[in-house]
Copies of this chain bind each other. A is one copy, B any other.
Amino acid sequence: MPATPLSSSFLILQPRFNIYFKPIFYSLNYQLSYSSLTFKGFRRLSIGRPSYAAQTESSNDNASGGGRSGALSPGPVTGDVQKIDVNPPKGTRDFPPEDMRLRNWLFNNFKEVSRLYGFDEVDFPVLESEALFTRKAGEEIKDQLYCFEDRGNRRVALRPELTPSLARLVIQKGKSVPLPLKWFTVGQCWRYERMTRGRRREHYQWNMDIIGVPEVMAEAELISSIVTLFKRLGITESDVGFRVSSRKVLQEVLKCYGIPENLFGKVCVIIDKIEKIPLDEIKKELKASGVMQEAVEDLLQVLSIKSLTELEERLGSTGEAVADLKQLFSLAEKFGYSEWLQFDASVVRGLAYYTGIVFEGFDREGKLRAICGGGRYDRLFSTFGADDIPACGFGFGDAVIVEVSFYIVRKERLLREKDLLPELSLQIENIVCALDHDLQGAAAMVANILREKGQSSDLVLENKPLKWVFKRAARINAQRLVLVGSSEWQRGMVSVKILSTGEQYEVKLDDL
Contact status A386-B83, CB under 8 Å: yes
Sort A-B residue pairs by CB-CB distance and give the 10 closest, nearest first. Answer: A334-B441, A83-B385, A118-B458, A65-B388, A148-B148, A86-B172, A92-B125, A60-B179, A95-B123, A97-B120
In the complex, which range does the number of interface residues on chain A fall in? 35 or more
- Write 12 A-B pairs (CB below 8 A) sorted by A numbering: A53-B176, A60-B212, A65-B214, A65-B389, A86-B168, A97-B122, A127-B146, A150-B192, A180-B461, A217-B444, A331-B440, A335-B441
Please, which residue of chain B has its CB at the minimum distance from the CB of A432? Answer: B118
- A82 contact set on B, CB distance < 8 A: 385
Task: Tell whether A502 is near chain B: CB-to-CB under 8 Å.
Answer: no
Contact (Cβ within 8 A) A178 B60: yes
Taking the closest CB of chain B, its distance from the CB of A47, in whole angstroms, is: 17
Stretch at the interface among A257-265, A290-298, A404-412, A493-501: A257-265
Q: Known: A217-B440, A384-B84, A390-B65. Contact between A72 and B251, CB under 8 A? A: yes
Q: Report how far A62 CA is from B168 CA in the complex, Å.
A: 19
Decide: B180 and A116 in contact? CB cutoff 8 A: no
Within 8 A of B (CB), among A199-241: 202, 210, 212-215, 217-218, 220-221, 224, 228
A125–chain B nearest beta-carbon distance, Å: 4
Collect the chain B residues with CB atoms within 8 Å of residue A175's CB.
56, 58, 60
Is the beta-carbon distance between A390 and B67 smaller than 8 angstroms?
yes
Any B CB within 8 A of the CB of A470: no
Kindly identify, within residues 296 to 339 of chain A, every residue whose CB is under 8 Å from any CB belonging to chain B.
320, 330-331, 333-336
B contact residues around A366 at 8 Å (CB):
none
Cβ of B154 and Cβ of A150 under 8 Å apart? no
Cα A1 to Cα B120 in complex, Å, equals 39
- A512 in contact (CB, < 8 A): no
Pick the most buried of A151, A171, A220, A461: most chain B CB atoms within 10 A of its CB. Answer: A461
A116 contacts B152, C-beta separation under 8 Å:
no
Q: Out of B1, B64, B355, B448, which one reaches A72, CB within 8 Å?
A: B355
- Asked if residues A451 and B74 are in contact (CB atoms below 8 Å), the reply is no
Query: What's the minimum C-beta distance from A492 to chain B, rounded to whole angstroms?
Result: 15
Max chain B C-beta neighbours (<10 A), residue from A64, A78, A333, A462: A462
A142 at the A/B interface (Cβ < 8 Å)?
Answer: no
Chain B residue numbers with a CB within 8 Å of A131 are: 84-85
Q: What 17 additional pairs, Cβ within 8 angstroms, besides A55-B178, A74-B261, A335-B444?
A: A1-B445, A54-B176, A56-B175, A60-B177, A65-B390, A69-B356, A74-B355, A76-B382, A81-B383, A84-B171, A92-B127, A94-B125, A116-B455, A117-B458, A117-B459, A118-B431, A127-B190
Residue of B89, B336, B382 touching A128 (CB-CB under 8 A): B89
Residues of B within 8 A of A120 (CB): 97, 100, 426
CB 8 Å contact bits of A165-196 with B (1 = contact, 0 = none): 10011011101111110110000101010000
Cβ A214 vs Cβ B122 within 8 A: no
**Cβ < 8 Å to B, chain A residues 363-404:** 376, 378-379, 381-390
Name the distance in Å between A290's Cβ and chain B's nearest Cβ. 14
Report whether A462 and B178 are in contact in the complex, using a CB–CB cutoff of 8 Å: no
Min CB gap A333→B, angstroms: 7
User: Which residue of B has the minimal Cβ distance to A157?
Assistant: B89
Q: Determine the distance from Cα of A101 to Cα of B127 in the docked complex, in whole angstroms.
A: 21
Give complex CA distance A223, B152 in Å: 38
Binary flags per residue of A439-451, CB closer than 8 Å to B gives 1, else 0? 0111011001101
Q: When the two chains form their complex, are residues A221 and B459 in contact, meaning their CB atoms are under 8 A apart?
A: yes
Name which residue of chain B comes closest to A463, CB basis.
Answer: B215
Verify B150–A444 contact, CB threshold 8 A. no
Decide if A94 touches B123 in the complex (CB within 8 Å). yes
Pick from B16, B60, B126, B449: contact of A188, CB below 8 A: B126
Closest to A113 in B: B451
Check: A90 CB closer than 8 A to any chain B CB. yes
Query: Is B334's CB under 8 angstroms from A445's CB?
Result: yes
Asked whether A52 and B177 contact (CB < 8 A) given A76-B382, A116-B454, A220-B444, the answer is yes
Q: How distant is the Cα of A128 from the Cα of B356 in the complex, in angstroms?
A: 39
Tell whether, in the assembled complex, residue B172 and residue A94 are in contact, meaning their CB atoms are under 8 Å apart.
yes
A129 within 8 A of B: yes
> What is the distance, in angstroms, from A228's C-beta to the closest C-beta of chain B?
7
Q: Does A511 make an interface contact (CB < 8 A)?
A: no
